[in-house]
Structure 1
Amino acid sequence: MPKFAANLTMLFKELPELDRFDAAAEAGFDAVEVLFPYDMQANEILSALGRNNLSLELINCPPPNYTGGARGFAAVPESRDRFRHDFKRTLRYAEALGARLVHIMAGPARGPEARETFVDNLRWASDFAQKQKLTIEPINDIDMPGYFLNDFDLAAEILDEVAAPNLALQFDTYHAHRIHGDIMACWDKHAHQVGHIQVGGIPDRHEPAGGDFDYPAFFKMLDDTGYAGVVSAEYFPSGKTTESGLGWLGLRSV
């Protein structure tokens, strides 16, 4: 069965941030993601991870210093210096917390110059942080209008062009559905580049159960094909508490 992580930025939001680690462990998760850990003390996060025997799977770059502004700068030509400054700060957090992955956010941009900037920044980041595993994630235009990396085929082309051994594709089933419609066709085409998986219900991004996608079959396929990475639960709980909707975790044994 896959190893599951809880995205603590979206799950257990009924609890204070540091208490979410305890709740995730009690629910049976082996790992967690914290998209933006920058407002918490690193020693407090490390303590919460340690007492619960949790690993930290992923954090996002850049830090959330964009109040009301763009989410990410890696593809924004006029923000090249800002991206590199923010990446160095993110890398310090990743190293301190033992984060396995850093997701580099492209930000809002369009056109050839944006693509060139994104490729250049990814090459620089991959070389600057050779020991850190990095990901890029296509995000749909409905949830994040104007986001540069809005297509899995584009992401695949960029990964091939950068050709860095520490840079991989972040495959979010919800975004794959929103962008391409057929999740499994998208997976079959791009699975060889995937370094991390995130899941959420189709079509509403609630619990990954029921709806329009066969998650038990997807998890079994991951087992059958030897996927060794983590599957992160990144969704909006449909009930008043996250715990009330965690019955889907039983799908691991299907």
Structure 2
Amino acid sequence: MSQNIYDSIGFFESYSKYPRMEKGLAGASEWPLLETMLPSSLVSKTVLDLGCGDGWFSRWALDQGAKAVCAMDVSQNMLSRARALSPPDRYPAITFRQVDMETLEGQDGGLDPEANDVAFSGLALHYLVNLEAALRQVFRSLRPGGLFVFSVEHPIFTAPQRPGFQKSGAVQDWPLSSYFAEGEREVDWLGTPVRKQHRTISSYLKTLRTVGFEVVVVDEWGLNMGVEVRDLFGLRTL
């Protein structure tokens, strides 16, 4: 099962103060680049939102004309917040489900085959141990020609065994180590031990191709000369 840190009351209260929780879409700095990878129109499309958090992408998709959105998250706290922010009278076509992305395969009521036109996941897949199994299920859930857009924490940040910035004068450096040693990393975030899975960029690409995706776009978004960087992917089924 995925580590469910967001259902820890103390962690959730601290995380709720983050800009992307307080501001939603406007607080996700990487969003403008991610948006360029999505279809120019979502009108009448069926959308899957994996690791939906408080539902900001699901609401945006409906506002863009999507026919229906299935929003999944492992955290009951996140889903409760998402439902509160997505009143049924305004967002009747969002279905929220508590689902562990680590065990999508074989789960009751899992991803139906060829049910979605677009799948989206924001900063969630780097927590999964069995990434390939999850990606197979996403691929299976997309109709031919469907699109999968996702972001992950950049491997330069997940690589170090002991991550952290080092300041040299007015410059902050991020020492990179253990890049090719893939596997689990544990970091302290908001006073909580958090487990992430480090993978190289080439490993992500190989896994995507293995399950059947055609990689259309790979981009890297950065802020303040690399202080914050994410990998961004746009993919489609054949």
State the structure with bigger RCO (CA 8 A, min sep 6), 1 or 2: 1
Which range, TM-score by smaller chain? 0.3 to 0.5
Greater per-residue strand proportion: 2
TM-score by length of 1: 0.34
